[in-house]
Amino acid sequence: MINVILIDDEPLARALVKEYLNGHKEFSVVQECNDGFEGVKAIMQHQPQLIFLDVQMPKITGFEMLELLDPAPSVIFTTAFDEYAIKAFETRAIDYLLKPFSQERFDKAIKKWKKQNNSGMQNTSRAVSEAISMQPEEQNRIVIKNGNNIKIIPVKDVVYIEAYDDYVKIYTQEGMFLKKKTLSHYEQILSDKFIRVHRSYLVQLSHITKIEPMEKDNHIVILKNGIRVPVSRSGYVKLKEILGT
């Protein structure tokens, strides 16, 4: 059997997918989920070959949910909003079903999945991560998978971000959280609130209290919580321009 999970906050939408799946006896719905939090836990538990996923849901979006998965499963999006279609295909989704969709359209999506599955094509977490870049939600919040839990961090609560191999360390007053993103990514989407003071550090402007000189023309910034962050020469020039010093 092919295990399938349905993730949609609308019970009627899930019921329609289940009805359409009756014509494909090799598929078995192992769980239905109302939101992305439930979806992540269900996927980790059941390891499905395919998921049907809505985009706009409570708590976190379908795109944000996919980003928390490594590897991301095969996805067929089911949504009432056509503006997400391009972003969906950038994640290498199998198909994008615009509600309301017919049995015929649904069957075509299943056929596409079978073809890609048989050819060995798989979704990749990197493709998902790159496709989520510049989503409006990311300018206001960062979704973190912290063990078995999912945490939403408001950007206003982030003090600074540090590069860490293929990840970044996100520091808040609560502590440090890891996220599989690049520092350059956050520099791009958070440029109105943060400044790249060093190749390894991105600091929220509102948390800077002062700049102090170090030896050999180097500097540091001191944050409100007392943390001292190194500043590169180029970072110092940017700081002077922004702070007007």
Pairing type for strands 228-231 and 219-223 reads antiparallel
pTM, two decimal places: 0.78
**Alpha carbons 5 and 75: distance in angstroms, whole number:** 10
- Residue 94 clears pLDDT 60, i.e. is over it: yes
Asked, as a colleague might, if the bond just before 71 is cis with ω within 30 of 0, I would say yes
pLDDT band at 67 (very low <50, low <70, confident <90, very high): confident
Assess contact for 221 and 208: CB atoms under 8 A. yes
What digits encode the pLDDT tens for the residues 121-160? 554 444 455 455 556 677 889 999 887 789 999 999 999 9
Domains of the chain in sequence order: 2-132 (3.40.50.2300), 137-243 (2.40.50.1020)
**Alpha carbons 73 and 67: distance in angstroms, whole number:** 11
**Alpha carbons 185 and 166: distance in angstroms, whole number:** 12
3-state secondary structure 198-221: ECCEEEEHHHEEEEEECHHHCEEE
pLDDT of residue 90: 67
